[in-house]
Amino acid sequence: MMPQVELEVTRPGSEACLDTVAEEVPVAFEFNGISHTVMLATPADLKDFALGFSLTEGIVERRSEVFDIEVEEAPEGITLHLEIAGGAFAKLKERRRSLAGRTGCGLCGAESLTQVMRDLPPVAEGGTFPLDALKEGMRRLPQLQMLQQTTGAVHAACHVAADGSISHVREDVGRHNALDKTLGALARVDAKPEGALIITSRASFEMVQKAAALGYGILAAVSAPTAAAIRLADKLNLTLVGFLRGSSCAIYTHAQRLQGTTP
């Protein structure tokens, strides 16, 4: 299944023509043969999505607990069949639920208020990171957002290294899905939680939680954070950056981790 399709569009003052439109399909997660949840997502990088979602939602604690991922396409959507360790599956069954996740859903799967705030340890302090690298990463990212260039309808996430180079760019109609895909891609190559993450969306509570769940200490967003995201980032020792555009940004928590913040 392709991540985009050609559909007819009518623009005032011109004849009907074809337009490239981002796909959005139901993606069902099935763990050890048991249906878990359904998300609306872009049908690309689905194994990254499967692993990233499993890790960031706490279904598994480490990559080694996911034994196999199979992608099955059907007319009504896509099913991701995951085989996970018995211990992880036993914990999942304790909080199992069945629900549909909308494209923008970030807490899909929490069936009670106590499940919203996961008990995560603070991110390790680590070393410092150049603020200029974040700015350079954001400058480079649009050039690699291929699906966004053709459809204008998707978010992206990526990893940024200290030299400003970016990698593991993933796109999706859902901003949480894009971050899950990037984190899954990093986990699949056993990447250490170093460097920073960039997202082309607002920074909300669950985006901070996903980054911290995999040990990343810097999350930078092109748009604004929410108050809940700021409070959680402060608690989890995560550096949260918003409005990362051009040469400007706003650092909301733990600015000491970024080099070049002194006026």
Does the annotation count 108 as an active-site position? no
DSSP state of 122: P
- Specify the pLDDT at position 98: 42
pLDDT at residue 77 is higher than 50: yes
Q: Where are the domains of the chain?
A: 25-115, 129-259
For residue range 124-136, what is the model confidence (pLDDT) as tens digits? 998 899 999 999 9
- Specify the pLDDT at position 101: 52
Q: Say which CATH architecture domain 129-259 belongs to.
A: 3-Layer(aba) Sandwich (3.40)
Q: Say which CATH architecture domain 25-115 belongs to.
A: Roll (3.10)
Catalytic choice (105, 108, 158, 249) = 105
Instruction: Quickly state the pLDDT bin for 221 (edges 50, 70, 90).
Output: very high
Q: Which long-range contacts (CB under 8 A, 24 or more apart) does 189-196 make?
A: 190/63, 191/159, 193/123, 193/217, 194/126, 195/129, 195/159, 195/160, 195/161, 195/162, 196/129, 196/133, 196/134, 196/137, 196/159, 196/160, 196/220
Q: Report how far residue 243's alpha carbon sits from residue 220's, in angstroms, rounded to the nearest whole number.
A: 8
